[in-house]
Amino acid sequence: MAVDLLLGLQWGDEGKGKIVDVLTSKYDIIARFQGGPNAGHTLEFDGIKHVLRTIPSGIFHENSMNLIGNGVVIDPVVFIQELEGLKQFNIDFKSKLLLSRKAHVILPTHRLLDAASEASKGKAKIGSTLKGIGPSYMDKTGRNGIRLGDLELNSWKEKYRALANKHEELIAFHSVDIQYNLQEMEDEFFKAVETLKELTFIDSEEYLHQAQKSGKTILAEGAQGSLLDIDFGTYPFVTSSNTTAAGACTGLGVAPGQIGEVYGIFKAYTTRVGSGPFPTELFDEVGAKMAKVGHEFGAVTGRPRRCGWLDLVALKYTCQVNGVTQLMMMKGDVLSGFDELKVCTAYSYKGKEITHLPYNIEPENVTPIYSVFKCWKEDLTKMRETSKFPKELNTYIDFLEKELELPIKVVSVGPDRTQTIHR
Ligand code: GDP
Ligand code: IMO
Ligand code: MG
């Protein structure tokens, strides 16, 4: 059986958690393949809202197995808090949640290093979630990291001490004022590690290989968005993993030829949290309205998300890089009643009109060129059928499908599981 992927096509927070939850009934296994607790995936059903950080968004379904792949970085402290938050649902984590031995561990000093690195950058800061993501992936590629499998060995604390000592030297090297009590952080961390070890660690690539052989259906859940990809995103204002389709291969051990559907998910407009270029960003009352109506505040940090029009130059690029096979449009309901809608179809780049994403999309190089649409007035949140869609919404969708050369198969009209329309 092929492995299907669900990926965010913008700068994250497209609504991946909601859609994975909706799709889970079709899949036996939901597998996260990259990122860590920098992610915040929101699910809403039966009047409950939940934000997941590292745990896959299939966890609430009785029959799904949930797997955290080798490409993920895990902070035991955050992870245990996440489990605590789910206590009320009586989920049997030992049997429903599997963790790859090859996943890397975020140490307390990784978090401190993240803070020191950001503080030392001043105005040029990335706007990181400060969860230790960058430093832990640096230790992974630097071949110094500690993996979940190491926690099963007696010697891991020696390795930990040596690494933490090195990190303390690096923190001091940054010469910034970071106040911390490492002893306290370590007490919390070691306690969390012991609880984490009660869960099921596996050789996940072998598990997935056997699952595929026996005909099990698998959905890989992406975190962040393609424009935050370490290679293809707006570097250096990106995260430290491959958020694009290829990341699912390396983050799970799935061969490229085994990838099936690639579901690409995007908001009907654009948001970004943290620093970095954003050509279609709005600084006026229209952007403020998107933020207000869309409740655009980060699920992890609570920071306001920057808002702007849909950018088809960027979206075409991410559809290509990912090999997207079908699209899902989220949050169309937020735009109801806007005076007009704009969609960026090209950039003016150094005086020339271009339709591809150039190396540098800083505002001094790029000015968006827009097509303008009439907006729908109707409230979409109670609609459940495409036949009820206002004609302006159909025009918008048709235009996007034509430009992107891909079908939009799902239109989401609210945060709840039931507010999902299949086309
Ligand atoms: P993720 O990181 O991609 O899973 O997305 P987040 O959970 O960080 O952010 C998406 C936010 O939009 C969450 O608060 C969702 O509950 C909400 N949401 C998802 N789909 C829709 C939608 O179609 N309409 C509205 N109004 N909200 C939505
Ligand atoms: P989900 O999975 C939106 C952003 C941060 C920052 C940059 C680097 O919920 O869509 P990091 O902590 O990785 O060093 O931050 O990436 N970022 C996200 N933005 N959604 C996310 O995840 C994000 N994860 C990281 O704001 O700009
Ligand atoms: Mg999010």
275 lines ligand 1 (CB under 6 A): no
Which atom of ligand 1 is nearest to 57's Cα?
A: 4
Residue identifier of the C-alpha nearest atom 28 of ligand 1: 415
Rounded Cα gap, residues 144 and 138, in angstroms: 9
What letter does residue 41 receive in the DSSP assignment?
E
Residue 230 is given by DSSP the state T
Ligand 2 site residues (CB inside 6 A) read: 8, 11-13, 38-41, 126-129, 131, 133-134, 223-225, 228, 239, 273-274, 299
Cβ–Cβ < 8 Å for 308, 278:
yes
- For CA atoms 372, 376, 379, 384, give the dihedral sign: negative
A 10 A CB-CB count for 373 gives 17
pLDDT in tens, 13-30: 999 999 999 999 999 999
Comparing CA positions, the residue from 165, 168, 186, 106 lying closest to residue 138 is 106
Q: pLDDT value at position 299?
A: 81
DSSP symbol at 67: E
pLDDT in tens, 372-421: 999 999 999 999 999 999 999 999 999 999 999 999 999 999 999 999 99
pTM of the model: 0.97
The reported pLDDT for the residue numbered 238 is 98
CB 412 near ligand 1, within 6 Å? yes
**Among residues 299, 303, 272, which one has the least CA distance to residue 287?**
272
Q: Which of 221, 16, 31, 53 is nearest to 133 (CA)?
A: 53
Triad 39, 42, 45: Cα angle to 5°: 160
Series of mean pLDDT values for 10-residue runs along the chain (423 residues) = 96 98 97 98 94 97 96 98 93 96 98 97 95 98 98 94 97 93 97 98 98 97 98 98 98 97 98 97 97 92 94 98 98 97 97 94 94 97 96 98 98 98 96
Amino acid, single-letter form, for residue 195: T
Tokens linked to 253: 């051990």
Spell out a b/e string for 386-395, using b for 16 or more CB atoms within 10 Å of the CB, else e: eeebbebbee
Q: Which atom of ligand 1 is nearest to the CA of 334?
A: 26
Q: Which residues are catalytic?
A: 13, 41
Nearest CA to ligand 1 atom 2: 13
Q: Residue written as tokens 């099963």?
A: 152
The DSSP symbol for 28 reads S
Written as six digits, the tokens of 183 are 């002893």
**CA atoms of 41 and 22, how far apart (whole Å):** 13
Locate 214 and state its tokens.
């026996």
Among residues 372, 364, 361, which one has the least CA distance to residue 278? 361
CA 253 to ligand 3 centroid distance, Å:
25
Ligand 3 centroid distance, CA of 227 (Å): 14
Ligand at minimal distance from the CA of 225 is 2
- Ligand 1, pocket-test mutation among 18, 408, 413, most atoms within 8 A of CB: 18
